[in-house]
């Protein structure tokens, strides 16, 4: 493996002396074209990266690390803050245009970069939804470099094909982050739901994108009416029109609000009590209980695999001894092989779970802290809904299902508490709560 040398003093001085206003287009590199060598030590990896990259939007090369372009960084922070506050991507673009903020390409050109593309923005360049979403999804702003999104079809043509997201190469902490991880994840959650808003509104409704019909699974939409000078807001199924399609599932916004707030309070109380029980019993994290369970499963699966190996060996000997026919041997051998393969697969999956769990045990579980932040919650806002809620499913006024985020983790925690309670009951002890 070839060792990557750190930039020389002359190279660093040359980087430091670059005037962004006079950068030539030929010196610029697209981020997706930068090759990240994961096999290199971190210092060499960063050095190699810096040698390749020049001046991406919001960052520029300088003295072996990336320095934030504060003006552009402030715009990026504003975009994330507006998104978290309930603005749609369309509204964010409109807000930036109203403020006279230049879009990324025009900003580069305004700084003197000789930057040309195949598209003309016209005499009055504007921010667009695609630009906003591209920024909101860019892990560059949390200090992570992502490479390998596309692969060239062959060396003869410039076209490339997209690579599946799970196969992208990510290198964390390559440079200074300008967006907190928490804010970035909030934004990703918001991008997954429908946050379209009425033309005259600046931000989305409190439950926009979260309320779904329990029968057809489609979004429920908010409507309002005024009676005797008082405004009433309600939700109904988006497919219900003039008594056609699904039923209306009509429900007041206040009822949804009250149910959600009450459910959030109860869920937080449940998790808080469960955490106390787990810590009281000498466990830093409920994952230790799960780890023990997985260990037991692994032992059972190891025994099962060995049992089928033994059965196959004895079956072969029975055929040699004439106890079973060749046809019977092949039939039973096939059955044992299938069962053994199934057990092997389960064993492999369990081992992977255990390895993942071991890594998770080394750190705290931030999702619990997300809920505990709202331990004394008295009212709902958009951020609380986005942080805690996955979906609100309305079957009727009497039946509303609240699906919380981290539901799998919650279930694991509750099961851990149940294991503790069962053990203590066997010992003649009792645990209240949870």
C-alpha dihedral, 18 to 20 to 24 to 27, nearest 10° = 60
**What is the structure's pLDDT at 58?**
32
| DSSP code string of 282-346 | T-S-THHHHHHHHHHHHHHHHHHHHHHHHHHHHHHHHHHTTSS-HHHHHHHHHHHHHHHHHHHHH
Q: Is residue 1 part of a domain?
A: no
Q: Is residue 50 part of a domain?
A: yes
Give the pTM. Answer: 0.52
Structure tokens at 102: 């230049």
**What is the structure's pLDDT at 278?**
73
**What is the structure's pLDDT at 105?**
74
Q: Is residue 266 part of a domain?
A: no
Domain that holds residue 289: 276-426
pLDDT by 10s per residue, the chain, length 434: 455 565 555 655 555 455 444 445 455 555 555 666 666 666 666 666 666 654 333 333 344 445 567 778 888 888 998 888 778 888 888 888 888 888 877 776 666 554 444 344 455 678 888 889 889 988 888 888 776 666 665 555 556 677 777 777 777 777 778 888 888 888 888 887 755 555 556 567 888 888 999 988 888 888 888 888 888 899 988 888 766 778 888 899 999 999 999 999 999 988 888 878 777 765 554 556 666 777 788 888 888 888 888 888 888 888 888 888 888 888 888 888 888 888 888 888 888 777 776 655 544 456 777 788 888 899 998 888 888 888 999 998 889 999 998 888 788 778 778 877 777 777 765 545 44
Residues 90 and 183 in one domain: yes
What region, left, alpha or beta, does residue 209 occupy, with left being phi > 0 and alpha being psi -120 to 50 degrees? left
Query: In the block, which residue shows the tokens 């025994």?
Result: 303
Q: What are phi and psi of 374, to 5 degrees?
A: -105, 25
Residues 395 and 286 in one domain: yes
Of 172, 142, 181, the closest CA to residue 46 belongs to 172
| Gyration radius of the chain's alpha carbons | 29
The domain boundary, picked from 161, 191, 221, lies at 191
Instruction: Give the total number of structural domains in the chain.
Output: 2
Q: Is residue 211 part of a domain?
A: no
The domain boundary, picked from 191, 209, 230, lies at 191
Q: Is residue 257 part of a domain?
A: no
Q: Is residue 57 part of a domain?
A: yes
- DSSP class of residue 261 equals H
**What is the structure's pLDDT at 115?**
46
What region, left, alpha or beta, does residue 127 occupy, with left being phi > 0 and alpha being psi -120 to 50 degrees? beta
Residues 307 and 411 in one domain: yes
Residues 42 and 158 in one domain: yes
Q: Is residue 203 part of a domain?
A: no
Residues 421 and 311 in one domain: yes
Residues 292 and 163 in one domain: no
C-alpha dihedral, 101 to 107 to 112 to 115, nearest 10° = -150
**What is the structure's pLDDT at 400?**
93
Q: Is residue 251 part of a domain?
A: no
Question: Residue 180 sits in a domain of what CATH number?
Answer: 3.90.1750.20
The domain boundary, picked from 150, 173, 191, lies at 191
User: What is the distance of C-alpha 344 from the center of its chain?
Assistant: 30
């Amino acid at each position: 493996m070839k060792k990557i040398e750190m930039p020389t003093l002359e190279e660093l001085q040359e980087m430091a002396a670059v005037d962004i206003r006079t950068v030539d287009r030929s010196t610029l590199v697209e981020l997706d074209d930068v090759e990240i060598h994961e096999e290199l030590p971190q210092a060499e990896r960063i050095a190699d990266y810096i040698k390749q990259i020049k001046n991406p939007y919001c960052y520029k090369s300088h003295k072996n690390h990336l320095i934030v372009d504060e003006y552009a960084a402030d715009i990026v922070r504003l975009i994330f803050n507006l998104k978290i506050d309930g603005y749609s991507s369309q509204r964010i673009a409109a807000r930036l245009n109203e403020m006279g903020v230049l879009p990324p390409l025009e900003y580069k050109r305004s700084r003197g970069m000789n930057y040309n593309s195949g598209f003309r923005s016209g005499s009055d360049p504007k921010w667009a939804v695609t630009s906003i979403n591209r920024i909101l999804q860019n892990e560059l702003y949390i200090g992570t470099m992502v490479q390998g999104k596309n692969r060239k079809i062959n060396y003869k043509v410039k076209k490339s094909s997209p690579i599946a997201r799970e196969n992208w190469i990510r290198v964390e902490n390559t440079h200074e982050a300008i967006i907190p991880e928490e804010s970035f994840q909030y934004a990703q959650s918001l991008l997954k739901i429908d946050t379209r808003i009425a033309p005259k509104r600046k931000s989305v409704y409190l439950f926009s994108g979260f309320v779904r019909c329990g029968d057809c699974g489609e979004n429920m939409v908010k409507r309002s009416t005024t009676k005797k000078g008082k405004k009433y807001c309600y939700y109904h199924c988006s497919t219900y029109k003039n008594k056609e399609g699904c039923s209306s599932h009509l429900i007041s916004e206040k009822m949804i609000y009250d149910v959600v707030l009450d459910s959030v309070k109860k869920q937080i109380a449940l998790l808080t009590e469960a955490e106390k029980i787990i810590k009281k019993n000498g466990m830093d994290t409920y994952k230790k209980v799960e780890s023990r369970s997985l260990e037991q499963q692994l032992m059972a699966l190891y025994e099962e695999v060995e049992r089928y190996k033994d059965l196959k060996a004895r079956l072969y000997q029975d055929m040699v001894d004439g106890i079973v026919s060749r046809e019977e041997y092949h039939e039973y051998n096939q059955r044992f092989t299938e069962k053994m393969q199934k057990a092997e697969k389960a064993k492999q999956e369990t081992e992977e779970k255990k390895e993942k769990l071991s890594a998770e045990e080394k750190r705290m579980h931030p999702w619990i802290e997300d809920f505990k932040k709202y331990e004394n919650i008295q009212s709902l806002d958009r951020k609380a809904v986005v942080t805690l809620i996955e979906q609100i499913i309305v079957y009727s006024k009497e039946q509303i299902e609240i699906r919380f985020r981290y539901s799998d983790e919650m279930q694991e925690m509750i099961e851990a508490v149940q294991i503790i309670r069962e053990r203590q009951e066997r010992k003649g002890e009792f645990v209240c709560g949870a």
